[in-house]
Amino acid sequence: MSAHRDEVDRLIAAWKRERPDLDLSPFAVLSRISRISRNLDIARRDAFADLETWGFDVLAALRRAGDPYQLSPGALMQETLVTSGTMTNRLDHLEEMKLITRQPDPADGRGSLVTLTASGMRAVDKALEGLLDHERKLLTGLSREERNALAELLSTLAAHLEEN
């Protein structure tokens, strides 16, 4: 039986052999996060089926906004961390798919509001349920306590990174 539990253990062992002078602890954490991220991206593509990841991000932001499930394009840009041009392209595509509508903002004559349609609501709810099912399967190797501890540690790391 191998002493390595995952691919990162194998890589670290090789680096330790070649560069015993280096502290490889950052590699042990962040390489695993990177590999987990790749697996999660694959799971998301599978879970979302016909909906692209970016489409889910926009629809999910609208869904989380609550009734009437509408936000300004600027608020959507903040929620999804994309530029104005990127958001316009995404909204154009989602509107063509009849998952959102856009109308003038009555409170701002130059602005608009993006609203989730009934089809958009069904699409994002179905995608979320599929995603959670896939993600639950990805975490089956951890107990509830381990998942909670890992979530807390990752939250601490994420908060620190967001501060910098």
24-66 pLDDT per residue, tens? 999 999 999 999 999 888 888 888 877 888 999 999 999 999 9
How much is the pLDDT for 1? Answer: 42
Kindly state whether residue 150 falls inside one of the protein's structural domains: no
My answer on whether 25 and 65 are in the same domain is no
My answer on whether 60 and 104 are in the same domain is yes
Kindly state whether residue 68 falls inside one of the protein's structural domains: yes
Place of tokens 């409170």: 107
My answer on whether 44 and 65 are in the same domain is no
Kindly state whether residue 162 falls inside one of the protein's structural domains: no
- Spatial distance between the Cα atoms of 125 and 128, rounded to a whole number of angstroms: 5
Could you tell me the pLDDT band of residue 3, with boundaries at 50, 70 and 90?
A: low
- Spatial distance between the Cα atoms of 100 and 31, rounded to a whole number of angstroms: 38
Cα-based torsion angle of the residue sequence 63, 64, 66, 71 in order, rounded to the nearest 10 degrees: -80
Residue 84's nearest CA partner among 75, 71, 93 is 75
My answer on whether 44 and 57 are in the same domain is no
Residue 76's nearest CA partner among 66, 67, 65, 68 is 65
Kindly state whether residue 135 falls inside one of the protein's structural domains: no
In the predicted structure, residue 71 carries a pLDDT above the cut 80: yes
Question: How large is the average pLDDT for residues 129-139?
Answer: 90
